[in-house]
Structure 1
């Protein structure tokens, strides 16, 4: 973000801005339930510190009186328990009523939160926040590009933006952009008019729903579509341009792609939003997986070939916890344990991971070096295999990981199975190194993930996206969606949408 523009006449020199929200990506196809223990709740100074661009002495930090209220954040998982959601919602609303009024509000959400018994959780939360804030407070929303922009969410907030990179290397920059845009409007030429300081929004739903692994911005056509946005944003009369891919693993009517362009020039934002929406729709059949795909057997055949580049990474994509998978589906590890060439010591294979607190406790009781038999996994999602019986040597025990708690590695020959006390994604090399494992010298590394996060991407001499079963199965057609809006591709291949922008601002007749 560049510096803030000078304060305009009628603008607010030091507006009072609240912060709150809930962030989780929830698969409705996963049996996992995200309860109180899934969320990290930040309040007050801890919440403000989560956003380093609001640090004291930074321009954005000094440009407003910041009032951090409540924010709940969770690793992706299953649908949120209704009572858990209600407690967080009530805390945010109560904080607004107790500490308001506010000139602005930074509404930090994901956009793909599913709550048991609801079909538009963020819309419900946005409506409650708006009612508590009142009609004049300007709300700016930062979202994940895998979120959804329902009509309710669109209508209750004023400024929307989302990530432009998948993997999400720009997540913090996006939050900073949402705050920057909010301050610009409060300080700007329309600052003295609560209605006119709100930009117009041009909103176009695009009836396409694809998994993130087919829409990575590392590849075309997503790369080219997202490359349009900075240029649009520079046009006179435009504040922001964003494209949402939508969330593929929830079965709700709002789940599809969206384009939103905000600004003051009605004609330009309508034209540009419709142009980008048409690009997305016309490219719908061109999206491909971010890597070569195969069955698990096919991936292993490549990884075990004599001329295979090492380390060879395999994505166990169906149970990816960072997309909403439960993280304890045992199918892949079970298949690996049946392969003698992986357990006879001739290859080093690292497998991340299952979570099972009882199996971890048994390994801790036995101690490093002991040979044990444990039953692990499938306590949440029993999948196609159920709990897995593992006999091996306790290779290492590591305590007090902030996410995983205690972690153990059980070695079965050259295969090293990682079992954690709590759910944890493995995205960084140090996630392995802290367990006494060296991913750089391994032959094969199997990770519950879709597209590889940057460190794993750099690690991989070669890799395959394995199309494995689980709550975030990449084959959407076999999951059983039945609540989507009509005409969504690829569930309906005969659609021909108008792709006409809905343009307006909140409070405008």
Structure 2
């Protein structure tokens, strides 16, 4: 009798554990993130996404470590996440392969109470419009309309009506540079778990307001006004009674699609609060549209170099902004480097020291490895992808450093040409941290001039600059939007269209995913 009792007690205990586990929400994770310029001839393949599969996905989210409260708050089913360096449009083959793998993985563990959708929002795919909208619709067909989806995005992403319809909870970064990226992703996960935990599920209201503004990130940084004050209004709006979250998307200026424009979204359960806060944010954005200026003084490349050579402030930073790989540039435009090497000031090895970061040149790197450090090299680099503005640049100088194993660049070579230290990479790579230079034997703090393929300076570079000019150089992410030649964006659009009437900034209520008609 006792044995039977113990067996039954053990069964109840085991059953109780199973029941306790069943009470935890079942949440999937999926997402593909890239910022891709349609004005660049480059394309991005599947390898560019460096996809994480299954439990590898958790490495992307420090706030979801194995012993974290968020990890323990649900039964998780990570599928695939991929975060690519910004670049050209994604090939259709790469997109379809990654989406298909995601959907196949999702089908294995149905059903789900929730799904965390981690995207950038500015992915372009060859032959498609609105890839993120397509992706979430296809996810919905697998997981169903009842599953609660929480989406996190970059503020330079685009929120189409289709994306707004098929997500339930949505938020984006509130800082540019994006120092709050992980905070935003964590907020999206917390919002999801909270709505599942309290049983409220989908928000009663989602307000969506398209704001007809299209500006580059270099004019909308939250470091300066009016971006600083505009984005300072977002957090207070999200804390209003009846509101779950609020967000402002600047949008992505270097893709030519109807969805490319600014957007305000507010979600919550109180209709008046949701629509009021959305309309306040949209009006605030529109009202300051003429106040947006570049985050740094701008100049032509010649003007920037003239100023840097004459300056007694070192290091003097120059942003080679038109081919910025962190915004979607091909990264191998040689126009700026060609101009630098042609200037007489840098012909002598005793001229002003200048670091140039960087130019891809796999053949150059291969030859440098054959020769070794300290040897003279003469070979070409760059312009294999984007040769519209200048051809490959011939570098004739001394190899000062070869470094192996960088996770992005693979192999990096430094060659000194006159007084210019040129970083040549096996694969394109953005340089935005001090260690990116010091590991190559370069000291950016001691250099007279540092020229970086970047737009606004990332925090470490910004903090070490003595002076800074943003050079308006050509490339796939040209800061001069008038030179891009848009054909598919929605008009009228500020500042592309000089004369505009006041837009309709009334909140548009987006139907919930489970209310959509087929």
Per the normalisation by structure 1, the TM-score is 0.95
1:7-55 CA-to-partner distances (Å, cap 9, x unmatched) read: xxxxx95101000110000000011100122120101121012111111
The answer for the alignment partner of 2:190 in structure 1 is: 180
1:18 aligns with 2:28: yes
User: What does residue range 343-354 of structure 1 map to in structure 2 within 5 Å?
Assistant: 343-344=347-348, 345-354=350-359
Match of 1:401 in 2: 406
Contact 2:203 2:267 in 1 (8 A): no
Partner-residue secondary structure (3-state), 1:435: coil
Deviation at 1:199? 4.1
TM-superposed CA distance for 1:486, in Å, is: 1.5
Q: Are 1:310 and 2:314 counterparts?
A: yes
Contact persistence 1:13–1:63 (CA under 8 A): no
- Match among 117, 120, 138 for residue 128 of structure 1: 138
Q: Could you say what secondary structure the match of 2:291 adopts?
A: coil
Shift of 1:308: 2.8
Q: Deviation digits for residues 487-506 of structure 1, max 9, x if unmatched? A: 11111132221111111441
Q: Is the 8 A contact 2:355 2:449 kept in 1?
A: yes
What is the match of residue 9 of structure 1? none
Q: Is the 8 A contact 1:27 1:114 kept in 2?
A: yes
> CA offset at residue 450 of structure 1?
0.2
Using the TM superposition, give the Cα deviation of residue 140 of structure 1 relative to its aligned residue in structure 2, in angstroms: 0.4
* Matched position secondary structure for 2:345: helix
Contact 1:15 1:186 in 2 (8 A): yes
Residue aligning to 1:320: 324
Change in 2 beyond 3 A, CA 1:341/1:291? same
Q: CA RMSD for the aligned pairs? A: 1.2
SS in 2 for 1:90: helix
Q: How does 1:45-444 map to 2 (within 5 A)?
A: 45-191=55-201, 197-305=202-310, 307-344=311-348, 345-444=350-449
Runs of 4+ in 1 over 3 A off after TM superposition: none
Deviation at 1:71, TM superposition (A): 1.0
1:450 aligned to which of 446, 452, 455:
455
Summarize deviations over 1:149-190 as a string: whole Å, max 9, x none: 001100011011000000000111100000000011101142
Contact 2:332 2:383 in 1 (8 A): yes
**Distance in 2, Cα, partners of 1:508 & 1:413:** 67
CA shift for structure 1 position 385? 1.1
When the two structures are aligned, how many residues end up with a matched partner? 492
Whether 2:469 is the aligned partner of 1:459: answer no
Q: Are the equivalent residues in 2 in contact too, given 1:302–1:308 (CA < 8 A)?
A: no
Per-residue deviation at 1:226?
Answer: 0.5
Verify the 8 A CA contact 1:199 1:505 in the aligned structure 2: no
Q: Secondary structure of the equivalent of 1:422?
A: coil
Q: Secondary structure at the match of 1:385?
A: coil
Larger Rg: 2
Deviation string 1:412-446 (CA, Å, 9 cap, x unpaired) is 12100000000111010110111111111111000
* Whole-angstrom CA distance in 2 between matches of 1:184 and 1:373: 61
Q: Structure 1 unaligned segments of length 5 or more: list them.
A: 1-11, 192-196
Is the contact between residue 143 and residue 161 of structure 1 (CA under 8 Å) also seen in structure 2?
A: yes
Whether the 8 Å CA contact 2:164–2:510 is kept in 1: the answer is no
Per-residue deviation at 1:298?
Answer: 0.9
Q: Contact 1:138 / 1:198 at 8 angstroms: preserved in 2?
A: no
Paired residue secondary structure (1:172): helix
**8 A contact 1:81–1:115 mirrored in 2:** yes
| Residue 304 of structure 1: how far off its partner (Å) | 1.1
